Amino acid sequence: QVQLQQWGAGLLKPSETLSLTCAVYGGSFSGYYWSWIRQPPGKGLEWIGEINQSGSTNYNPSLKSRVTISVDTSNNHFSLKLSSVSAADTAVYYCARGVVGATSFHYYYMDVWGKGTTVTVSS
Amino acid sequence: SYELTQPPSVSVSPGQTASITCSGDKLGNKYACWYQQKPGQSPVLVIYQDTKRPSGIPERFSGSNSGNTATLTISGTQAMDEADYYCQAWDSSTGVVFGGGTKLTVL
């Protein structure tokens, strides 16, 4: 059974860089897209971006200028960096496994999620 | 950018059928999926590729998608189904898109 374990700094000051890592245990790393999603307090889910085993990335256009997602295939890890954070970046950050393919249309759904990391940005 | 719209809240009596809608331009030409999220927990996939249920999801959860609207239907709603529900699709320009979420209250 695949599990995602995530970790990283939970308290940041404005202008610092958020850094989180997610490890994949119990399953294949290849053949999937690995995503980061965030949820501000009391609000909905926002997709941040994704990466696959080959290092191919896609980012939410609204965050693209500040986001870098990288992969470490030797350890089945993938990581998120978000630069120049502000209070608006305060959220619970989740990592998730994306299942991607196409039949009639392109499909993308996330079937395994990490437990989430609370990140607070405050001076 | 592509957007998905959900009603903020839906109420249902125990044992009745709850329907949660998700609207987007030509959404029927995309695959929709649905997540359930209970307070303090990570989202759980309940429907994928419009109509499919992952292993372990009760049969009372079903989905449909046509035209501009995808619908999550919960038949014989139980108190344990009270949660926030999010629809999600993929768009070639925007990437992964979530709806704003719907709070389901079982009265």
Average pLDDT over residues A51-56: 94
Report the gap between the CA of B13 and the closest CA in chain A (Å).
25
Interchain CB contact of A106 with B (< 8 Å): yes
> What mean pLDDT, rounded, does chain A reach?
96
Interchain CB contact of B90 with A (< 8 Å): yes
From chain B, the residues in CB contact with A116 under 8 A are 42
Contact A108 B1 (CB under 8 A): no
Structure confidence at residue B101 (pLDDT): 98
The predicted-structure confidence for A6-41, as pLDDT tens digits, reads as follows: 999 999 999 999 999 999 999 888 999 999 999 999
Q: Identify the helix (H) or strand (E) that includes residue B22.
A: strand B18-23
% of chain B exceeding 70 in pLDDT: 100
Q: How confident is the model at residue A103 (pLDDT cuts 50, 70, 90)?
A: confident
Structure confidence at residue A102 (pLDDT): 86
CB pairs under 8 A between A and B: 74
Rounded mean pLDDT for each run of 10 residues along chain B, 107 residues in total: 97 98 97 97 98 97 98 98 98 94 97
A56-A58-A59-A64 Cα dihedral, nearest 10 degrees: 60
Structure confidence at residue A105 (pLDDT): 84
Facing residues of B95 across strands?
B91
Q: A97: which residues sit within 8 A by CB, 6+ positions away? A: A2, A4, A24, A32, A33, A34, A35, A110, A111, A112, A113
Report the gap between the CA of A107 and the closest CA in chain B (Å).
5
Phi, psi of B78 (to 5 degrees): -110, 160
Nearest to A113 by CA among B45, B40, B48, B72: B45
From chain B, the residues in CB contact with A63 under 8 A are none
Q: Using CB atoms, pick whichever of B43, B88, B94 lies closest to residue A113.
A: B43
User: Where would I find the beta strands (DSSP E) of A2-122?
Assistant: 3-8, 11-12, 18-25, 33-39, 46-52, 57-59, 67-72, 77-82, 91-102, 106-113, 117-121
Report the gap between the CA of A59 and the closest CA in chain B (Å).
7
Contact A115 B31 (CB under 8 A): no
Interchain CB contact of A52 with B (< 8 Å): no
- Token reading at B94: 């925007």
Q: Which of residues 47-86 of B touch A (CB under 8 A)?
A: 48-49, 54, 86
- Token reading at A3: 């599990």
Contact A47 B48 (CB under 8 A): no
Contact A105 B42 (CB under 8 A): no
